[in-house]
Structure 1
Amino acid sequence: MKPETLAIHASNLVKNTTGDVTPPINLSTTFFRDEHGGYPGGHMYSRVSNPNRSALENTVAKLEYGKDAAAFASGNNCGLSLFQALRPGSHILAPDDMYWGIKKQLLTIFNEILEFDFVDQTDLNLIKSSIKPNTQLIWIETPSNPLLKITDIAEIAKIAKAHQITLACDSTFASPILQNPILLGADIVMHSSTKYLGGHSDILGGILVTARKDELWEKIKNIQQTGGAVPSPFDCYLLCRSIKTLAYRMKGHCENGRLVAQFLVNHPKVEAVFYPGLETHPQHEIAKKQMKDFGGMMSFLVKGDAEATSKVVNKVKLFAQATSLGGVESLIEHRYSVEGPDSKTPKNLLRISVGLEHVDDIIADLEQALG
């Protein structure tokens, strides 16, 4: 089935006697055992599994062409669980433009347990030269947050396989509709399901999808089930419901994103625009090769200093000045002020998540804020 069809039907796992077309929410934390001590319904305890979570994991695994999925209570839990599954002393190659929340885990939680280097992953030779004997994981993020760098998944997959290194890809900015890293050679795909999968800024979650059920994956599943950082049945239900419209929401985000990027490129008060759909983007050809479309995420530099940038972000009326992305509403944020004084993000950079409002209204708001 095509992604549009899978998104609607893959979560309909629950069979019941009342004939519901929409699967119900299963709130029970525990499940009946039979006379032999087994679990005829397939579930024992909701920390281990739950019908709604199974539906969610089945749906996203199918959308990403993976063998299995593990849903977590947040996107950050995905990174945390994968890092926990590595042997102490393992080395990770991570992107220099890495989402701050996951990067902070390495710097403050795993700094005495794992080794890591942050490198420009658009430079394949730099990746090759940065590999160490104890490198166990290459973590890529494409498009990246917040500079929208594009990493060549297929080429880095070749490097990883040649050195027997696991390749994990944070594909949150793309969603499974626009990009499928497993088909390009990645071993694990991550999504912050808070973002495009949820799509309405009202669900916190994350999910990992694996290309194969190997030893590393079994460790991750054990961390998920034993550690217990799992989403609630209601959150899983909402995510399954939201994913049913994902393909069509992404079409709107992409269409609006393309037009907003073109507007910003031509605006005299904008210094630069970071959007992979622009032919001027340095990795535009790679993006064309591995993405079906370019999404609704972009960043731009305001001509001027931090004060001038602050004036722009404080003048918007339609955009919500808020963290996060991927919702139906347009969001704008000054990333440097979120990431703190150690951030390498330019002080005049604004990141925007282009929503599903009419594009004329989105552009008009940016026009008056910049003007």
Structure 2
Amino acid sequence: MKNELTGWSSVAVHSGNIQDPNYAHLTPIYATSTFVFDNAEQGMERFGSLDKENIYTRWGNPSFKVCEQKIAALEAFGLKNEDGTALELKALLHASGQAAMSTLFFSNLVSGDAILSHQSLYGGSYELMTKILAGVGIEIIIEDLSDLSILESVFRKHPNIKLVHLETPANPTIRCVDIEHITRVAKAYGALVSVDNTFATPYLQQPFKYGVDFVFHSTTKFLNGHGTAIGGILIGKNIHFMKTKAWKWYALLGGNGNPFDAYLLNQGLKTLELRMEKHCENGAAVAEYLNSHIKVDHVNYIGLPSHPDFLLAKKQMRHPGPMLSFELKGGLEAGKKFIDRLEMCTRAVSLGTVDTLVSHPASMTHVGVPKEERLKYGITDGLIRMSVGIENIKDILNDIEQAIDA
């Protein structure tokens, strides 16, 4: 393209698009398990290339490629290398967020290595670490990484730390960690850094700006935006690693996406900026309402000055976002009644869809996390998580009000 794209929506709409040989306006669904070769030499060339394209869909597919390039472009938008050149990234589209996280962990860690992470992680991430990685000899270290004073001592105590995995904002307490500071210390001790950017999306936060090595998303959430398909993506800045070792784990674990879900993801990505603007506007309004309600005990929302990570979020995010959690003064029983009384807001797990989703982490997304661990991380029995949608704000607030006051 002659002129460099200057806006988020332009990148989301146009980046990664592949010209279809039949001149379809939109990238088609390439619903094929395998691809043909014109001759033996072409087949050998494709197999010998680092870009395993047009061979077998478990290895790659044009429907995947458009999403991979689009999301990589969004994560790199406006960012430069130290020499002033535009940052280039490589992405691999997976069947789910858990599949993408598996590729991340297993391509970087072996028995005897350690992974450092922090409190209040998504339940699936916590269980993958403690029940799968720990079972193959990888040490799991969970620390309060909001306390930066302990960071160097953790690395000195555990010289086998090879990867630091951050989730910021974290699920469901909406706590943040300092990506820039943690990455700087990790690099000094020779460790890689990955960031789960699912809650923020690249529109609100770009971790590669701070020197991280990998960014991970559950594309099921805000990137798709409509709850129509499961997916996950791993993005890395070491292009050779992503095309070799990471790709090998991706292909052999069989965690690839499928063309139908990739098509749906591609359509959702095109409206990311528009949706996130409305999500964020509504999220801030809901947080303010709940924070001033007499029946609400506390609200976890990083846009409130009372939140411990308010200033940090302002530093590394463009907006606090649409995710929040809160607890009513009546605890668990009051929370259950609130959820049951909702009329418009949707009772469901997951997040990032156009409708407002409400869930109960202790009994749903974090049911596999031991209670003593949950409570230590602030995931109480009465905590309610809300992914604020793009409905009319008056209707969202009316539903919340009647559910609390009924």
Q: Shared fold (TM-score greater than 0.5)?
A: yes
| Partner Cα separation in structure 2 for residue 259 and residue 271 of structure 1 | 17
| In the alignment, structure 1 residue 80 sits paired with structure 2 residue 102 | yes
- CA-CA distance at 1:176 after TM superposition: 1.1
| Partner Cα separation in structure 2 for residue 67 and residue 118 of structure 1 | 29
Match of 2:42 among 17, 22, 38: 38
TM-score with structure 1 setting the length: 0.96
- The one-letter code matched in structure 2 to 1:129 is S
- The one-letter code matched in structure 2 to 1:59 is K
Corresponding residue of 1:11: 16
Corresponding residue of 1:47: 58
- The one-letter code matched in structure 2 to 1:101 is G
- CA-CA distance at 1:183 after TM superposition: 1.1
Aligned partner of residue 45 in structure 1, secondary structure: coil
- CA-CA distance at 1:34 after TM superposition: 2.5
| In the alignment, structure 1 residue 368 sits paired with structure 2 residue 402 | yes
Aligned partner of residue 244 in structure 2, secondary structure: helix
Corresponding residue of 1:121: 145
Contact 1:122 1:151 in 2 (8 A): yes
Gaps of 5+ in 1: none
Contact 1:121 1:140 in 2 (8 A): no
Corresponding residue of 1:329: 355
Corresponding residue of 2:90: 68
Q: Note closer, same or farther for the CA distance 1:335–1:217 as it changes in structure 2 (3 Å cut).
A: farther
- CA-CA distance at 1:214 after TM superposition: 4.9
Superposed, which structure 2 residues align to 1:208-219 within 5 Å?
208-215=234-241, 218-219=244-245
| Partner Cα separation in structure 2 for residue 122 and residue 292 of structure 1 | 20
Contact 2:236 2:242 in 1 (8 A): no
| In the alignment, structure 1 residue 99 sits paired with structure 2 residue 148 | no
Cα shift readout 1:269-301 (whole Å, capped 9, x = no counterpart): 111111111122111111111111121100011
- The one-letter code matched in structure 1 to 2:98 is N
- The one-letter code matched in structure 2 to 1:353 is S
TM-score with structure 2 setting the length: 0.88
Aligned partner of residue 109 in structure 1, secondary structure: helix
| In the alignment, structure 1 residue 186 sits paired with structure 2 residue 197 | no
Contact 2:166 2:193 in 1 (8 A): yes
Q: Note closer, same or farther for the CA distance 1:6–1:216 as it changes in structure 2 (3 Å cut).
A: closer
Gaps of 5+ in 2: 47-52, 77-87
- CA-CA distance at 1:164 after TM superposition: 1.2
Corresponding residue of 1:251: 277
Match of 1:28 among 21, 27, 32: 32
- CA-CA distance at 1:309 after TM superposition: 1.5
Superposed, which structure 2 residues align to 1:222-233 within 5 Å?
222-233=248-259
| Partner Cα separation in structure 2 for residue 90 and residue 362 of structure 1 | 47
Q: Note closer, same or farther for the CA distance 1:80–1:128 as it changes in structure 2 (3 Å cut).
A: same
| Partner Cα separation in structure 1 for residue 41 and residue 259 of structure 2 | 24
Contact 2:172 2:385 in 1 (8 A): yes
User: How large is the RMSD of aligned CA atoms in angstroms?
Assistant: 1.5
- The one-letter code matched in structure 2 to 1:14 is Q
Match of 2:188 among 142, 149, 162: 162
| In the alignment, structure 1 residue 271 sits paired with structure 2 residue 297 | yes
| Partner Cα separation in structure 1 for residue 116 and residue 37 of structure 2 | 46
Cα shift readout 1:37-83 (whole Å, capped 9, x = no counterpart): 32489411111110010111111111111510011111111222222
Contact 1:272 1:302 in 2 (8 A): yes
| In the alignment, structure 1 residue 89 sits paired with structure 2 residue 112 | yes
| Partner Cα separation in structure 2 for residue 45 and residue 23 of structure 1 | 18
Contact 1:11 1:240 in 2 (8 A): no
- The one-letter code matched in structure 2 to 1:156 is I
Percent identity for Structure 1 against Structure 2: 36
Corresponding residue of 1:284: 310
Cα shift readout 1:237-280 (whole Å, capped 9, x = no counterpart): 11011100011100000000010010001000111111111122
Paired residues in the alignment total 370
